[in-house]
Each structure stands twice: as structure tokens, then as C-alpha cells.
Amino acid sequence: MRDALGAAFLAVLSVTFAVAAARIPFETSLWVWYTSPGFFPLLMALGLALFSVAIGYRGFLTWRTRRTTGESPGWRAHVRQWGAGRLIAALVMIGAFLLLLGRLPFTVASAMLITAMTLAFRDDSLLHSLRAAAAGALVIVALLLFFTRVFGIPLP
């Protein structure tokens, strides 16, 4: 099923690119078909679409075989075991961090992210994690200041 879903997404993506590429004129006063800006992306999109259909068909056959033999993957348990909850939480925190960029100093936003993630994903006691978060935030702020002063790196 994963193969079929992945292939479906890739097929949609390649068709989108193919349609957009086909809309670029192939012949104008400035170029002919083989120098057209749409020529190469159209070829690549068609190739990708072809491969995606092949993978999708193969994935569909596998899924149908498993359904026929009665195999039940138990996708909810699998998703939980895979760590989807932690991943979503991490992505939410990263999204919040990105929103804060430009609104807060980068060093402050970085310290907040480290603290939030250390506490949210801790494997230790709260006190230990707070200490680790404080140490991590201090180190990263020092490192960022080092990058700006020594290497002249601009911060967001």
C-alpha cells in the first residue's frame, strides 16, 4: 500500500510538472523545440510518470495479494509504534520556531526551541532535563555568537 500511495503522489507531481512544461511554447521567435525551456522538464516529467505508474501497479498487486491472503497490517498500531506522535510534535515545534524567526532574536528563539524539545522528548527526570536544556541553550547561544564574530555568519 505504501508503494501505491507513494507512486500516486509522484504520478500527480509528475503530471503537474508535465502539464506546466507543455504549456511553455515549443516554438517562438526566440527558440525552436529542442532549445525550448519546456523540452527537458517535459521529458523528465514523462519519465517520472512512467516509472511511478510501474511502481504503483506493482504496489497495487502486492496490496491485493495481501488482502486476498487475509494479512492485516494493523496500521494504527504500526503508526503509533513508528513514532508519529513524536514526529508531529517535533514538526509543530519547528513550525512555531520558523514563525518566530524575524519576530524574536534568533538566539532567543533557538534557546526556546532547545528548551521546549528537551522537555517534551525527555527520557530523564524533569530537573535533569531542565539542567540539560539550560546547558544546551547556553552552548548553542555561545556557538551562534562564535559563528557571527569569527566567521561573520549572518543570523536569521
Binding site for other proteins (CB under 8 A): 2-3, 6, 10, 13-14, 17, 20-21, 24, 30-35, 37-41, 44-45, 47-48, 51-52, 54-55, 82-84, 86-87, 90-91, 94, 98, 101-102, 110, 113-114, 117-118, 120-124, 129, 132-133, 135-136, 139-140, 143-144, 147, 151-156
Give the whole-angstrom CA distance, residue 128 versus residue 33.
66
Question: Which one, 104 or 117, has the nearer CB to other proteins?
Answer: 117
Which H, E and C letters describe 78-107, residue by residue?
A: HHHHHCHHHHHHHHHHHHHHHHHECCECHH
Q: Minimal distance in Å, beta carbon 28 to other proteins?
A: 9
Q: Which three cell numbers stand for residue 136?
A: 544546551
Give the whole-angstrom CA distance, residue 114 versus residue 137.
6
Q: Minimal distance in Å, beta carbon 60 to other proteins?
A: 15
Q: Which three cell numbers stand for residue 1?
A: 500500500
Q: Which three cell numbers stand for residue 65?
A: 495479494
Question: Which one, 70 or 149, has the nearer CB to other proteins?
Answer: 149
Query: Which one, of 10, 6, 5, 4, lies nearest residue 50 by Cα?
Result: 10
Question: Which one, 70 or 152, has the nearer CB to other proteins?
Answer: 152
Q: Minimal distance in Å, beta carbon 85 to other proteins?
A: 8
Question: Which one, 67 or 153, has the nearer CB to other proteins?
Answer: 153
Residue whose grid cell is 527558440: 31
